[in-house]
């Protein structure tokens, strides 16, 4: 029996992206009370954890056969949003590291980061919804 890692790994990017979103919201609302670079400290593991999660998801997808059209559509939507989440997280993380290292972080940049993290938050929620549908409704 082969151990499937995807069901365990998916929780890491979900948790870290949600934490990044919440920490950035606090950074916008109460900037003086939030430690510097708190969002970055959750965004880095979010980005790193998306890579093995997507790889394990692809591995699971390659083992699935004979899906009905509705389950196939759910899988495709899940995969699309997983890719948006992965690439978006990686790009935002790299850009934010550059902004932090070049000391160009200001309130406008913080607000822009929050906007992008909001998009990532929505994307990871959609990904998780369709992943849950695949497991609990389609029993894949």
Q: Where are the domains of the chain?
A: 10-29+36-49+68-137
Predicted TM-score of the model (pTM): 0.94
Q: For the packed helices 11-29 and 38-62, what is the interaxial angle rounded to 10 degrees? A: 150
CA 50 to CA 86: how far, in whole Å? Answer: 6
- Mean pLDDT of the chain, nearest integer: 95
Return the pLDDT at 1: 39
Q: What is the largest CA-CA distance in the chain?
A: 55
Q: What is the pLDDT of residue 26?
A: 97
In 10 A of CB 53, how many CB atoms?
A: 23
Interhelix angle 11-29/69-101, rounded to 10 degrees, is: 50
CA distances from 81 to 44, 84, 99, 124, 128 (A): 19, 5, 26, 7, 9
> For the chain, first and last CA: distance in Å?
16
What are the mean pLDDT values of the chain's consecutive 10-residue runs (140 residues total)? 80 98 97 94 98 95 92 97 98 97 94 98 98 94
* Residue 89 CB burial class (10 angstroms; 0-12, 13-18, ≥19): buried
CB 27 within 8 A of CB 38: yes
């Amino acid at each position: 029996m082969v151990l499937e890692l995807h069901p365990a790994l998916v929780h890491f990017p979900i948790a870290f992206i949600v934490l990044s979103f919440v920490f950035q919201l606090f950074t916008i609302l109460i900037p003086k009370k939030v430690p510097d670079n708190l969002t970055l400290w959750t965004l880095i593991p979010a980005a790193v954890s998306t890579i093995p999660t997507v790889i394990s998801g692809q591995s699971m997808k390659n083992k699935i056969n004979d899906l009905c059209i509705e389950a196939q559509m759910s899988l495709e939507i899940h995969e699309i949003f997983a890719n948006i989440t992965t690439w978006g997280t990686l790009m935002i993380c790299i850009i934010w590291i550059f902004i932090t290292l070049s000391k160009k972080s200001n309130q406008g940049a913080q607000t822009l980061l929050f906007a992008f993290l909001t998009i990532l938050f929505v994307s990871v929620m959609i990904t998780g919804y369709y992943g849950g549908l695949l497991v609990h409704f389609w029993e894949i």
